[in-house]
């Protein structure tokens, strides 16, 4: 007979889970494993709401199993460490992002790219090495192998740091990997949402000139004055788009809706790179001729490896980079999901777990 989530492990835990593809979240008792010798246990303080959470609770990718506790932008404070844990101690501010496990022996793992490991284990809604279900950060405690836990610099406010664990590294990683991080370069950021707004902040901190490309002209003031972008293009304004053709070393495209690639490829210089980090559900149309004429590169990228995630959050600490967030109580989470569908948030919802998640609720 299957063991109930509540009895599976020794540590009592509590969170909010979706029970079916309606995606509606409600209180849920479960359990976490005891702190193993390489494990870190932490009290969750905040958890960001990523668009992936929305896809997962509604089973839009057909991968979800229920009950499902979402959340992979998790920050908190360490309460217990295993005997072999070296880099973290009780009281440290820590974070867990998209993954909590990988094979740790394949080529990707050996090259600090656990995010591309074929056996990578997502933090939520997957099977861990021991066969038990992984439950995400909309919950009171986390237990994870220290390799998959990063230290959050003390100067970063934790609510603003939480989204860096997914949205942050998703944009930081391609800027670094594709060499779009050199001072004086010109990088475009398509879309100013959860991903795009931190992409602008990271690129600016790297000394890059940033142009935001958006479908909505009313985001201009915000992009320039609040996020620090150097310029702004409305993607359907033909004149300014034409004038900007051939000016960008690279583009980070964060849009997850189907959209035309041709105008973006046109903005690139020769040898320029268009990197997709959004995940449209349908294939995009790729005009090949403009890629050939200029030796341009199209690529994709997803989150980042653990070494890079630590580097990203240390860089954020050094440059005081956090996400712009709307902090919400956990009982607002279903409303937040509805608002997320309408992209009615600037720019990330973050759940105040410590103050609002009560096991009596």
**Which CB sits closer to Zn ion, 110 or 359?**
110
50 binds Zn ion per the rule CB under 5 A: yes
Q: Where are the beta strands (DSSP E) in 191-322?
A: 209-214, 231-234, 248-253, 268-276, 297-300
Smallest distance, Zn ion to C-beta of residue 52, A: 4
Q: Within the chain, how many helices (H) and strands (E) appear? A: 12, 17
- Under 8 Å CB-to-CB from 49, ≥6 apart: which residues? 70, 71, 73, 333, 336, 337, 340, 348, 349, 350, 351
Among 31, 41, 52, 322, binds Zn ion (CB under 5 A): 52
Q: Which residues make beta-bridge pairs with 48?
A: 350
Site pattern 144..173 for Zn ion (x: CB under 5 A) = ----------------------x-------
Count residues contacting Zn ion (CB under 5 A)?
8
> Are the beta carbons of 53 and 70 closer than 8 angstroms?
yes
State both tokens at 149.
Answer: 């836990």
**Which CB sits closer to Zn ion, 48 or 250?**
48
Smallest distance, Zn ion to C-beta of residue 70, A: 9
- Under 8 Å CB-to-CB from 354, ≥6 apart: which residues? 43, 44, 45, 46, 76
Residues 106-125 that bind Zn ion (CB under 5 A): 106, 109, 117
**Residue whose structure tokens are 């600016």:** 204
103 binds Zn ion per the rule CB under 5 A: yes
Site pattern 177..206 for Zn ion (x: CB under 5 A) = ------------------------------
Among 13, 100, 102, 156, binds Zn ion (CB under 5 A): 102
Smallest distance, Zn ion to C-beta of residue 169, A: 9
Chain contacts with Zn ion (rule: CB under 5 A): 50, 52, 102-103, 106, 109, 117, 166
């Amino acid at each position: 007979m299957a063991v109930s989530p509540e009895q599976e492990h020794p540590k009592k835990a509590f969170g909010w889970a979706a029970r079916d593809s309606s995606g509606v979240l409600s209180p849920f008792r479960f359990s976490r494993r005891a702190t193993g010798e390489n494990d870190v246990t932490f009290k969750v303080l905040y958890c960001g709401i990523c668009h992936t959470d929305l896809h997962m609770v509604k089973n839009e990718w057909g991968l979800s199993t229920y009950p499902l506790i979402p959340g992979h932008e998790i920050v908190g404070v360490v309460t217990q460490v295993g005997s072999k844990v070296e880099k973290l101690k009780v009281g440290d501010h820590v974070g867990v992002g998209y993954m909590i496990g990988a094979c740790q022996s394949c080529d990707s793992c050996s090259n600090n790219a656990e995010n591309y490991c074929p056996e990578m284990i997502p933090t939520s809604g997957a099977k861990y090495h021991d066969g038990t279900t992984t439950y995400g950060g909309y919950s009171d405690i986390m237990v994870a192998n220290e390799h998959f836990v990063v230290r959050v610099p003390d100067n970063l406010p934790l609510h603003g740091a939480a989204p860096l664990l997914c949205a942050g590294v998703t944009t930081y990683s391609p800027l670094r990997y594709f060499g779009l991080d050199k001072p004086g370069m010109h990088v475009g950021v398509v879309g100013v949402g959860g991903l795009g707004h931190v992409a602008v902040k990271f690129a600016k901190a790297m000394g890059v000139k940033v142009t935001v490309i958006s479908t909505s002209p009313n985001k201009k003031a915000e992009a320039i004055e609040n996020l620090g972008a150097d310029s702004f293009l409305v993607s359907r304004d033909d004149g300014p788009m034409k004038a900007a053709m051939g000016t960008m070393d690279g583009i980070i495209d964060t849009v997850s809706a189907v959209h035309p690639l041709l105008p973006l490829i046109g903005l690139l210089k020769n040898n320029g790179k268009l990197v997709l980090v959004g995940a449209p559900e349908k294939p995009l149309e790729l005009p090949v001729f403009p890629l050939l004429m200029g030796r341009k590169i199209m690529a994709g990228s997803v989150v980042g490896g653990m070494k890079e995630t630590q580097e990203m959050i240390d860089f954020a600490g050094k440059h005081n980079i956090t996400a712009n967030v709307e902090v919400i109580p956990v009982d607002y989470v279903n409303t937040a999901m509805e608002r997320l569908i309408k992209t009615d948030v600037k720019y990330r919802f973050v759940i105040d777990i410590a103050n609002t998640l009560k096991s009596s609720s």
